[in-house]
Structure 1
Amino acid sequence: MITKQLAEEIVAQTTIRLNRNLNVMDTKGMILASGEAERIEKIHEGAARVAKTGETVAISEANLSDWQGVKPGINMPIHFQGNLVGVIGITGNPEELKEISTLVQLTTEMMVHQSLITSHIEWNRKRNELIFEELTSGKPLSAAVHERIFQIGLEGKMSFMTLLIELKKPPSSSQRIIEQLEAHFDSHTVIAGHSQLNEIFLLVAGAGTLNLEEELYSLLHFLQKTAPGRIGVGIPVDSIFDIRTSYLAARNALKFGKPGQQLIYFEDVELMALLKRNPQDKLEKFADRILNGLSDTLCQTLTEFLACNKNHADTSARLKIHRHTLTYRLKKIRELTGLDPTEFKDAVVIYLALALRNS
C-alpha cells in the first residue's frame, strides 16, 4: 500500500513538473494527497473503479455526472511487483492528457518501487539489528526472534563468527557501506547492521570454509578506501545461540588492541582481557612494582627483546645498538628488578608488566 507520506511526495514532485493537479488515492479510492487540499480524505469514485477493475478510467465533461467526488481527468492504476497499491489521477481534459498520462503512470510506479524497496531494505536491516541485539544481550530470546532465526535457517548452520568494524567517523552513507560489506562475504554473511553509532557488526556463517585471513585483509583494504577504521575479530562458535561469546571476543579485540592496529584478533589480546578483569589499581601496582626503577630506554629494550623472542642479534639490529650494549642493558635490568629477561618465567612476568603499562 502507498503511504500518505509517499503520496504527498509523488504529488509534490509530479505537480511541479506538469503544472497540473494530481491526486494519489489508496486501493479503496480515498484521496491520500492532492494539489487541491480540500479533496484530501474524500472518496474518488473513478479511483475506486480503477482499484476494483485494475483498468484506467477516463472522465470527461460529458460523463462527469455519472461520478461523485470527481473532476475531469485520467485515473490509472499503480502497481508494485504485480500488485495494485494505489491509483494516480491527473485533472484535466482526457484527450489532452493522453500523451503524458502513460509517462506519469510509469514515473509514479518507479517512485513507488524505489520507496517500497528502500523501506523493505530498512525494515530488514532493523530486524537484523534486533536479532543481533537479542543474541548478544545474554537474556532469553523473544519468541519473534526465535521464529525469525528458524525462518532464515540459522539454527541449522554451523560455525559463526562476529566481526566488529569500528569506523573513524560516521560515513555519509552507512547503508551503502553495510551493503558493500555484505556483498564482500557474499552468502557467508547472514546478518549485518549497526551495533553502535560508529560501529558495524557482521555475523559471518560458515567461517571455517573461508580463507579468513585473506578475506579479512581484503576487507580491511576495502575499508581504507571507503570508510577507514579497524576490525575486531571474535572467536568462532558452533551455534547461533552462542554468538554472544564471539561478540564479546570481538568487543575485547577492539578494546585491548594496540593503538594503530587495524586488524585485531581476540587471540592476540586474550591474555590482556583476562588480566583486565582484576581491579585497575592492583594491575597498576603490579606493573609499577615489576618495572620500578627502569628508564624508558630500558623498558624499550625489554619490549624489543621480548618481541624478538629473546634473540640478541635481532634485538640489537632493531634497536641499532651493539650486542655488548644490549648485554649490558639486560644485566642492568636484572640488577634493578631481580628478574632475568633471558629466563622464561621471569620474561613472562616482565612481559605482563610491560603490557599492562602500555595498555
Structure 2
Amino acid sequence: MLQPELAEKIVREVQKLIAEEIIVVNTEGIIMASTNQDRLGTFHEGAFITSQQKKKLIITEKDVMKLEGVKSGINLPIFFQHEVIGVIGITGDPEMVTPFGEIIRKMTELLISENYFGEQFDYHSRAMETFVLEWLQAKEPSPVLLERARALSISLDLPRTAVIIELGQGKFPLSRDVWSTILNSFSQNKNDVLTRSGNERIIMLIDCSEAIQPTSLKSRLQQFLHYINKSFGISVYAGVGQCTLPSTLHHSYAQAERALKLAEKNRSIIFDEELTLEMITGVLTQEVKSEFIQRTIGPILKEKDLLMTLNELFKQNHSLKNTAQSLHIHINTLHYRLKKIEELTHLNPNTIHDLFCLYFAVQLLDE
C-alpha cells in the first residue's frame, strides 16, 4: 500500500509545513523516504514500535541511547482504513514538534487516500476502456467478455446508441482530476456506459431500451459539451449513431464515427440519421474519391476563380443573381465563368446530372 514513490511525495509535501527532518517508515521499521538521504533503508526501532502499538511515540534523548536508528522527536502511525500502513517521524525537540503531529498525520493520511482513490480511478478507467473497445469489436460476446461485464455491472442485453465525443483544441494530456470531473459530470442513466478512449475521445453507449427521443439525447449532450468547453476551454464535438440491438452495436459505433467526421467541420453534434450524401462518401475509398475529382473538376483545380465561382454557386443554392452579388462580379462575368467551367470539364452546370457531379466533386474536395 505504502510504496516508495508515495513515501517520497509525503516527505516533499510535509517539508512545506515544517523545517525539521522528516522520515516515512514502513511497518517493518525500514525508512522508505527521508529528507536525510543517509537514513534511507536503515532500521528505525521507534517507528517499528509505533506500528506495533498503533499509537504515537515520543522519542527523548534518553531513548536515543536505547533504541536503534532513532533521533529525538515524534513518531506517528499512519492509518488507512483503520489499519497502520506506515509511520511518519519528525526529528527535533519533542515539545516543539509534537504540536504539529496531528496536523501532519491528517495531511499524510489525506495524501494516501487521494493516491489510493486516484489509482482506483486509473484502474477502473483502463478496465472500462479495454472492455468497451473489445465489446465493440466482438461479433458475439465470449464467456470472458460476459464475465468482465458482470464484474463491471454492465448489461450486454440492452439496445444501445453509440456516441463518440472528440475533444479538440485544449491542453493534453488531461490530468486524472480533470478526466474524473468530466466523466462524472454527464447525467447518465444507470445502464449507460461511459469511458474515455485515449487522451482525446469519450465513448458513450447509451441505453435506448425505452425509446429515447433524439431531442432529449441531444439536449443532454449539448449540456455536457457546453460544460467541457466552458470549464476547461476545450473545443468539443460529437457523432451519434442509431439505436441498435446488442448484436449490432458495432454498426451504431460505425455510424457515430461517420457522423463525427461531419461534426468536426462545424464543431457540433451530428446524428447519423441526419446524414444523406455523407452516407455515400463515408464508404468510398480515398482512391475512388481522388479519381472522381480528377474526372470531374480536375481540369479546373488550378483555376482559382473558376473553383471559387463553383463553390459560391452551390452556397447560393444555384442562384445566379446571388452568386454574382456575393462574388462582386457582373452577371455576364458569371455566365462567362460557367461557360468556361463547362468547356474545361465537359459538365454543364445547367443540367441536373452534370450539376450533381460537380457538386459531389466539390464536396469530396472539401473533405
**Shorter-normalised TM-score: what interval?**
0.7 to 0.9
Contact 1:25–1:88 (CA under 8 A) maintained in structure 2: yes
Q: Distance in 2 between matches of 1:283 and 1:34?
A: 69
Contact 1:334–1:341 (CA under 8 A) maintained in structure 2: no
**1:187 is paired with a residue of what secondary structure?**
coil
- In structure 2, do the counterparts of structure 1 residues 49 and 347 end up closer, same or farther at CA, with 3 Å as the change threshold? same
Unaligned ranges ≥5, structure 1:
none
The equivalent residue for 1:209 is: 212
- In structure 2, do the counterparts of structure 1 residues 108 and 271 end up closer, same or farther at CA, with 3 Å as the change threshold? same
Q: What letter is aligned with 2:238?
A: G
- In structure 2, do the counterparts of structure 1 residues 136 and 316 end up closer, same or farther at CA, with 3 Å as the change threshold? farther
Contact 2:64–2:72 (CA under 8 A) maintained in structure 1: yes
Residue 268 (structure 2) pairs with residue 262 (structure 1): yes
- In structure 2, do the counterparts of structure 1 residues 129 and 95 end up closer, same or farther at CA, with 3 Å as the change threshold? same
- In structure 2, do the counterparts of structure 1 residues 17 and 241 end up closer, same or farther at CA, with 3 Å as the change threshold? farther
Contact 1:22–1:34 (CA under 8 A) maintained in structure 2: yes
Residue 122 (structure 2) pairs with residue 119 (structure 1): no
The equivalent residue for 1:229 is: 235
**1:129 is paired with a residue of what secondary structure?**
helix
Residue 70 (structure 2) pairs with residue 70 (structure 1): yes
After the TM superposition, which residues 334-345 of structure 1 pair with which residues of structure 2 at under 5 Å, given as runs?
none
Identity across aligned pairs (percent)?
Answer: 21
1:79 Cα deviation after fit = 1.9
Contact 1:256–1:273 (CA under 8 A) maintained in structure 2: no
1:32 Cα deviation after fit = 0.7
The equivalent residue for 1:250 is: 256
**2:164 is paired with a residue of what secondary structure?**
strand
Q: What letter is aligned with 2:30?
A: M
My pick for the range that moved more, 242-251 or 30-39, is 242-251
Q: Distance in 2 between matches of 1:277 and 1:191?
A: 32
1:286-340 deviation digits (Å, cap 9, x = unpaired): 43389999944763465246xx5x8x7xx8668769xx99xx89x9799986768
**Which one of the candidate residues 294, 300, 310 is aligned to 1:299?**
310
- In structure 2, do the counterparts of structure 1 residues 290 and 93 end up closer, same or farther at CA, with 3 Å as the change threshold? closer
Normalization by structure 1: what TM-score? Answer: 0.75
1:82 Cα deviation after fit = 3.3
**1:201 is paired with a residue of what secondary structure?**
strand
Normalization by structure 2: what TM-score? Answer: 0.74
Q: Distance in 1 between matches of 2:264 and 2:194?
A: 28
Residue 282 (structure 2) pairs with residue 279 (structure 1): no
My pick for the range that moved more, 245-254 or 26-35, is 245-254
Contact 2:241–2:254 (CA under 8 A) maintained in structure 1: no
The equivalent residue for 1:190 is: 193
Residue 34 (structure 2) pairs with residue 23 (structure 1): no
1:167 Cα deviation after fit = 0.8
Contact 1:341–1:350 (CA under 8 A) maintained in structure 2: no
Q: Distance in 1 between matches of 2:225 and 2:15?
A: 47
Q: Distance in 1 between matches of 2:110 and 2:139?
A: 43
- In structure 2, do the counterparts of structure 1 residues 37 and 171 end up closer, same or farther at CA, with 3 Å as the change threshold? closer
Q: What letter is aligned with 2:194?
A: I
Q: Distance in 1 between matches of 2:21 and 2:315?
A: 77
Q: Distance in 1 between matches of 2:104 and 2:5?
A: 19
Contact 2:27–2:51 (CA under 8 A) maintained in structure 1: yes
The equivalent residue for 2:128 is: 128
1:41 Cα deviation after fit = 1.9
Q: What letter is aligned with 1:235?
A: G
The equivalent residue for 1:86 is: 86
Q: What letter is aligned with 1:170?
A: K
The equivalent residue for 1:12 is: 12
The equivalent residue for 1:356 is: 364
Q: Distance in 1 between matches of 2:182 and 2:30?
A: 42
